[in-house]
A and B are shown apart, each in its own frame.
Chain A
Amino acid sequence: KNEVEQSPQNLTAQEGEFITINCSYSVGISALHWLQQHPGGGIVSLFMLSSGKKKHGRLIATINIQEKHSSLHITASHPRDSAVYICAASGGGADGLTFGKGTHLIIQP
């Protein structure tokens, strides 16, 4: 069974700072997902990665398959980025995702 570890658990930063959230997993995967959950809100899928790097606006996700590691970066962070960010590993079958416990990010104005 895959183990997914995220760090840090909690992160508080000032508006404008560059943010990095890390995710590591223990066994090979078919895809790595980054998800965002705002307080009281549902979960939104930000990225699905199987290799390399993806960018969407101020968000960048990278994955290193050999090292079993992925990072989510936020450039020019803004208070509206405050949310829980969750990484999840998919083995590619129908048995769902294995989730990290999430990183609670607070961006202060």
Chain B
Amino acid sequence: DVKVTQSSRYLVKRTGEKVFLECVQDMDHENMFWYRQDPGLGLRLIYFSYDVKMKEKGDIPEGYSVSREKKERFSLILESASTNQTSMYLCASSAAEAFFGQGTRLTVV
């Protein structure tokens, strides 16, 4: 059974903290993505990666960075968390079809 696994389902962090969201896939996919999902706005692309150590900005990269040191792992980093980064974060990987993690609901207080 193919899997995209996100490290946490729920996280609560304080403003200014550095936050790491981890995503691991076991399908040997080259393409991996981070999205955030907000009511009324839907899913928006933050960053994506098409190969190890390669990264590209999506539609809303401000306040985020990413790391892809190994093919199976794509990390989203909030350098200094802010309350407007409270959201559901979804990781995906794809070849032709996309597969999603279960999501991480991050609350920044």
Q: Distance (Å) between the CB of A92 and the closest chain B CB?
A: 9
Q: Is the CB of B58 closer than 8 A to any CB of chain A?
A: yes
The answer to whether B103 and A42 touch across the interface, beta carbons within 8 angstroms, is yes
> Count of A residues near B, CB < 8 Å?
20
Interface residues in A21-53 (C-beta closer than 8 Å to B): 31, 33, 35, 41-45, 48
Q: Is the CB of B26 closer than 8 A to any CB of chain A?
A: no
Q: Give every chain B residue within 8 A of A90 (Cβ-Cβ).
A: 94, 98
The answer to whether A48 and B30 touch across the interface, beta carbons within 8 angstroms, is no
B interface SS class: strand
CA distance A86 to B88 in the complex (A): 15
Give the segment of A63-71, A75-83, A95-103 that binds chain B: A95-103
CA distance A43 to B100 in the complex (A): 6
The answer to whether A95 and B48 touch across the interface, beta carbons within 8 angstroms, is yes
Indicate the size class of the contact surface on chain B: 20 to 34
The answer to whether B98 and A45 touch across the interface, beta carbons within 8 angstroms, is yes
The answer to whether A43 and B58 touch across the interface, beta carbons within 8 angstroms, is no
Q: Is the CB of B97 closer than 8 A to any CB of chain A?
A: yes
Q: Distance (Å) between the CB of A32 and the closest chain B CB?
A: 11
Q: Which residue of A lies closest to B30 (CB)?
A: A94
Convert B31-66 into 0s and 1s, putting 1 for each residue whose CB lies closer than 8 angstroms to a CB of A: 101010000111111001010000010100000000
Interface of B toward A, CB cutoff 8 Å:
30-31, 33, 35, 40-45, 48, 50, 56, 58, 90, 92, 94, 96-103
By Cβ-Cβ distance, the 4 closest A-B pairs, closest first, are A42-B102, A94-B50, A43-B100, A101-B42
Interface of A toward B, CB cutoff 8 Å:
31, 33, 35, 41-45, 48, 86, 88, 90, 94-97, 99-102
